[in-house]
Amino acid sequence: MGTLILKLKFCSYGLILAALLCAGSAHRIHAQSTQMSTYCNPLNLDYTYMIYNAHEGISYRSGADPAVVKFRGEYYMFVTRSMGYWHSTDLSNWTFITPEKWYFEGSNAPAAHNYKDQVLYVTGNPSGSMSILYTDNPKKGDWKAVPAILHNLQDPALFIDDDEQAYIFWGSSNKFPIRGKKLDKNLRFRPSKETIELFNLNAEKHGWERFGEDHSDKVLRGYIEGPWLIKHNNKYYMQYAAPGTQFNVYGDGIYTSDAPLGPYKYAPNNPVVYKPGGFANGAGHGSVVIGPGEQYWHFGTVSISVNVNWERRINLFPVYFDQDGLMYSNTSFGDYPHFTPAISGKRGQFAGWMLLSYKKPVKASSFAENFVVDNVVDESIKTFWLAEKNDDQQWIEIDLVNPGKVFAIQLNYHDYKSDMYGRIPGLFHRYVIEGSADHERWITLVDRKDSFKDVPNDYVELSSPQTVRYIRYKNIKVPTPHLAISGLRVFGLGQGKAPVVVKNLAVNRDQDRRDARITWTQQENCQGYNVLWGIAPDKLYNSWLVYDKNYLEMKSLTFDQEYYFALEAFNENGISERTKVVKVE
């Protein structure tokens, strides 16, 4: 058999190379794509190693509290304690910037504001006492400080209105509300003497503001934090996060007003950005930015919370405004592939590629302690496989059981006793992922064997989908002392039938009307269910992925709000039609 010449596209460089591959015992076809049309949460950023717990020897990457702004047609993302920030031209491909001047400890819950494309303002000193920084060249990062200090701020948000009036908002507490005051931007951003209390949590009425995993803590109060203000159609939308960054139910709500300092009114469809079920959960303490095609996007915070509560990642969801002025997002199948902000006509839409790898038979070269390889296919970012050694002899192999057409693969690494701290240059991951239809002839699906990219949550869309039954990950090098993986997620379409419509959907609201038990008849040939709900039949804006079970205990409802529910079943072959909408008084 002769030499096979194939064209390849290598991710992030946009180059087309010719690869000469000899056909032998392993037939090599490179299916890796680079100009990807899709993305997958959590976002694949080269996250910084945190220094919060360095004194305790606890090491982990994290990215949280993203403040994303558009400046002169490009985008900048400021993230808690990252020792710099990221830059993008399309909201999809991000490059880290190490600025000339920055906070030694990294910014904390930073604020950012673009003033008329003339200057970019940022503030977020971890001490809570901070000057406002400014530059007209964020790529260089020659930040200067306004010669004044604003005191007693946590989670600040800076906003300058169309009439030139500046405001500062702040709040991060389980006691005190979101507050705000005017600033005189022409006089060193001097704050007014008057402080306005805008609003606080009302967990007795708003179920989603209750503390704990699944809002289940009956003792501790939730936290209100992370304000972010946008103006849309002359209405002010004040975003806030609750109930705690470490929980699956961490989300963002909205209050609206006709003026920046209120009075504010609670949005009836809260929480507005909410991602409680699936692989990568949480969506709170984020920011909203207008992207390509004037589409709004929300960047938020994902909870990992294994090494410490503050171990987190970043996610991305599209945001919309309906005919009634309600702001809402689409987090349905929110950690599956969706079309990127750059894809006109499809921005933020679900690509329709299902999970082929969920709970499929899997084996590995080795494992250490109790961190077995089954953890890479269980759809939990909190569990992980730990290899016995960290070398190029380690591998994972998944049997998809039935052949499926693979469109994309996400590989999520985990930090296990990494002993790494701060911004470390020169980190990279090297590996190869192969596929096979018969376990004899293997094709290369993802080729990172010569990569110099740091990809802790790598996501690769194949340039041409490949039908395979077996998936094999072969480790070459990771930058950490240990090889640990929390998820090897294979996306595509199976060759079988999608589930049929779910039967017997029932919603029983408890005496505590913040709570409801949702049940349905369990289906065969089904991985899970997508619970959808909202405040009207045409406003089912929230969703919750449930794997395996045929019930959901929901504690996120508003006490005096009526709701509507529907349900979808899904498997590796597709999604069923929705049930009829059920009204709950």
Q: How many residues does the chain have?
A: 585
Q: What pLDDT, on the 0 to 100 scale, is given for residue 35?
A: 77
Whether 4 has a pLDDT exceeding 50, the answer reads no
Sign for the CA dihedral angle at 53, 55, 57, 61 comes to positive
Give the model's confidence band at 28: pLDDT under 50 very low, under 70 low, under 90 confident, else very high. very low
DSSP 350: B
Contact indicator for 360, 401 with CB cutoff of 8 Å: yes
Whether 123 has a pLDDT exceeding 50, the answer reads yes
Residue among 19, 52, 5 nearest 447 (CA): 19
Cis preceding-peptide flag for 481 (omega within 30 of 0): no
Residue among 497, 205, 490 nearest 360 (CA): 490
Structure-derived torsion over alpha carbons of residues 204, 205, 211, 217, reported in degrees to the nearest 10: 60
| Mean pLDDT of the chain, nearest integer | 94
Whether 81 has a pLDDT exceeding 70, the answer reads yes
Residue among 77, 133, 74 nearest 103 (CA): 133
Whether 188 has a pLDDT exceeding 90, the answer reads yes
Structure-derived torsion over alpha carbons of residues 133, 135, 140, 145, reported in degrees to the nearest 10: -30
Cis preceding-peptide flag for 147 (omega within 30 of 0): no
Which SS3 state, helix, strand or coil, does residue 209 take? helix
Q: d(Cα 526, Cα 548) in Å, to the nearest integer?
A: 8
Contact indicator for 412, 485 with CB cutoff of 8 Å: yes
DSSP 440: S
Give the model's confidence band at 1: pLDDT under 50 very low, under 70 low, under 90 confident, else very high. very low
Whether 25 has a pLDDT exceeding 80, the answer reads no
Give the model's confidence band at 34: pLDDT under 50 very low, under 70 low, under 90 confident, else very high. low
Average pLDDT over residues 149-158: 98
The residue assigned the tokens 């005051």 is 181
Record the tokens describing residue 557, joined without a space. Answer: 């409802």
Q: What pLDDT, on the 0 to 100 scale, is given for residue 15?
A: 33
Residue ranges and CATH numbers for the domains of the chain are 32-39+354-494 (2.60.120.260), 63-339 (2.115.10.20), 506-584 (2.60.40.10)
Beta strand 551-554 with 516-519 is antiparallel
Whether 33 has a pLDDT exceeding 80, the answer reads no
> What percent of the chain lies above the pLDDT cut of 90?
94
229 or 10: which leads in pLDDT: 229
Q: CB 73: neighbour CB atoms within 10 A?
A: 7
334 or 4: which leads in pLDDT: 334
Q: d(Cα 406, Cα 388) in Å, to the nearest integer?
A: 29
8 or 549: which leads in pLDDT: 549
Q: Encode pLDDT of 311-365 as tens digits.
A: 999 999 999 999 999 999 999 999 999 999 999 999 999 999 999 999 999 999 9
Burial class (CB in 10 A: 0-12, 13-18, 19+), 263: exposed
Tell me the pTM: 0.94
Report residue 123: phi and psi, to 5°. -150, 155
Q: Encode pLDDT of 432-484 as tens digits.
A: 999 999 999 999 999 999 999 999 999 999 999 999 999 999 999 999 999 99
Burial class (CB in 10 A: 0-12, 13-18, 19+), 584: middle
Average pLDDT over residues 143-158: 98
Output the CA–CA distances (angstroms, integers) from residue 318 to 312, 329, 397, in the order listed: 20, 6, 34
Structure-derived torsion over alpha carbons of residues 109, 54, 429, 313, reported in degrees to the nearest 10: -30
Q: d(Cα 572, Cα 378) in Å, to the nearest integer?
A: 14
Average pLDDT over residues 19-28: 36
Q: CB 238: neighbour CB atoms within 10 A?
A: 25
Record the tokens describing residue 147, joined without a space. Answer: 């010669």
> What percent of the chain lies above the pLDDT cut of 70?
94
Q: What pLDDT, on the 0 to 100 scale, is given for residue 31?
A: 53
